[in-house]
Amino acid sequence: MRARKTTRDAAWLAVALSDPVALLADHAHCEKKAAANAIGFIARYPERTAIVTAMAALAQEEMGHFAEVHAMLVARGGVLPPDDGDAYAKALAGRAGGLSQDDRLVDRLLIGALIEARSFERLALLGEHHPDPELRDMYQRFARSEARHAALFVALAREVAGDRERVDARLEALAEYEQRLVEDGPLRCAIH
């Protein structure tokens, strides 16, 4: 899956490129939170073997991303600042609902898919337009990973629900909310 493009992609790119070191710091925290989110699924759903297996691999891959982004940050004179949170991801997490445990799990997986899909869009823009060739290469590689992760989360949600049409309808509703968050939220020198 891909996130929809927004009317503000060009404006976001200009803000994001205004401070490459600050952007790397935010990006490192995003990769750390992606790994923590994967571990969170293992903690919450230990008996779901397919999810635990997928999330164990994902947590390792995201920590690999973290280490690489952190190294790029340090090489450019930066230091990882405290994590000041991610209002976008928090707002999305707040949409996880549903009456049954399965419904809530499906929502959490779909929210994971949407964050990965938006990360893909933004990293792909950086991979195309960043003036630093080393970073351009990294953003391009990571964009491909995040697109694959988005597809993984959707596949897991369909497996849990066993009802593709219902999952796709829920994904559509959550995607509309995600789109509004991006269109209406503040423009920050940050991935989201």
Which residues here bind Fe ion, judged by CB under 5 A? 31, 34, 62, 65, 116, 146, 149
Nearer to Fe ion, 116 or 178 (CB): 116
Nearer to Fe ion, 63 or 103 (CB): 63
CB of 123 to Fe ion, least distance (A): 8
CB of 33 to Fe ion, least distance (A): 10
DSSP 8-state class, residue 82: P
SS (H, E, C) 144-191: HHHHHHHHHHHHHHHHHHCCHHHHHHHHHHHHHHHHHHHHHCCCCCCC
Neighbouring residues of 117: CB distance < 8 A, sequence distance ≥ 6:
1, 2, 3, 146, 147, 150
CB of 137 to Fe ion, least distance (A): 15
Nearer to Fe ion, 12 or 139 (CB): 139
Nearer to Fe ion, 107 or 116 (CB): 116
**Burial of residue 8 (number of CB atoms within 10 Å: 0-12, 13-18, 19+):** middle
CB of 153 to Fe ion, least distance (A): 9
